[in-house]
Amino acid sequence: MATLADIPETLFPEIRDALRFYSVALVGVGRVKDRELLTYCGSATLLQGDQRLFLITAAHVWRATGRFQELGITLGPHGSRFRIPRIVVRETLLDSGDDSEWGPDLALLQLPTEYRSRFTAYLNLYNTSRVCRRLTPEDKLLRTGAWAIVGAPSETSSITPTRIDFDGKIFLGVPGDYHVREEFDYLDIHIGLAPMPRPSTLGGVSGGGLWRLGMRQDLSTGDISWDGMPILAGVAFYELIRGENRVRCHGPYSVRRLLAAAGVP
């Protein structure tokens, strides 16, 4: 069976391009006199379901925007963005409020549908019906394929009070422990392959999507490919040990609980 290290570098651009167009950064937009001031808050994933438009992120990322009247949302990696009044966002939270390693720490943000065309001109919307099925600790999905967290580390993004260049990155890893605790599930992802230079901390990646990538190996040639159909499996929310590239994510059961709480079938 192929390991993470066996994935050829030639696949990285294809994987990156498939995933980064679902990902955005969330920015708090404030003002001092007539000057716009920006604060980077975290990452999120674009969803559509039940004819509605959503962002899914970590609850603590959404809370970080709470002191701002406007929410900025990036439309690509080079500073393109637009802003909306925060008050028009309809929130559904599964949130302990204490930023602990077990959370829960999830937010589903429903946006007015009139913004759909603004997103689809630059990005893709992931359908909620395609969220990964519920896992078990012995599930073969945990032992096959590759896993990726998509988000923008603060350390490698260019952030000034007037401009944010969203440096969305793909971090490939493997699941460590899979936990089920108090009706929520968690995957601890060990980052094995990361863009260089590798950031010393993954702060800013919180709220980014966890994706499972179906990898295939030709038994006759040994060549590795992937099926081109990423599956959203969770949301990153907690860096377990700073600098060791281990990230705790809510898993698919938690994500489906959040969707159900928002009335998304």
Hey, where are the domains in the chain? Answer: 4-261
DSSP result, 73-114:
EESSTTS-EEEEEGGGPEEEEEE-SS--TT--EEEEEEE-GG
What is the pLDDT, as a whole number, of residue 249? 96
Residue 29's CB: how many other CB atoms inside 10 A?
20
| Whole-model pTM over 0.85 | yes
Mean pLDDT over 253-263 rounds to 96
- Higher-pLDDT residue of 244 and 170 is 170
Mind listing the pLDDT tens digit for each residue in 59-94?
999 999 999 999 999 886 555 778 899 999 999 999
Tell me how many degrees the CA angle 63-65-71 measures, rounded to the nearest 5: 140
- Higher-pLDDT residue of 174 and 238 is 238
What is the pLDDT, as a whole number, of residue 214? 82
Kindly report the backbone phi and psi dihedral angles of residue 253, in degrees, each rounded to the nearest multiple of 5, phi listed first: -65, -40
Q: Locate 116 and state its tokens.
A: 């759909």
Residue 258's CB: how many other CB atoms inside 10 A?
24
Sign of CA dihedral 224, 228, 233, 237: positive
What is the pLDDT, as a whole number, of residue 2? 55
Share of the chain above pLDDT 90, in %: 47
Task: Give CA–CA dist 248/124, Å, rounded.
Answer: 25
For the segment(s) 4-261, the CATH number from 1.10.357.10, 2.102.10.10, 2.40.10.120, 1.10.10.350 is 2.40.10.120
Q: Is 218 helix (H, G, I), strand (E, B) or coil?
A: coil
What is the pLDDT, as a whole number, of residue 243? 64
**What does the DSSP 8-state code read for residue 20?**
H
Kindly report the backbone phi and psi dihedral angles of residue 141, in degrees, each rounded to the nearest multiple of 5, phi listed first: -60, -25
Instruction: Count Cβ neighbours within 10 Å for each residue of 65-83 and write b for 16 or more, e otherwise.
Output: beebebbbbbbebeeebeb
Q: Is 148 helix (H, G, I), strand (E, B) or coil?
A: strand
**Statement: residue 4 has pLDDT above 70:** no
Distances (CA, A) of 157 to 25, 80, 264: 10, 14, 33
- Which residue in this structure is represented by tokens 């969305």? 168
Residue 120's CB: how many other CB atoms inside 10 A?
13
Mean pLDDT over 171-182 rounds to 87
Average model confidence (pLDDT) across the chain: 86
Q: Are 135 and 78 in contact (CB under 8 A)?
A: no
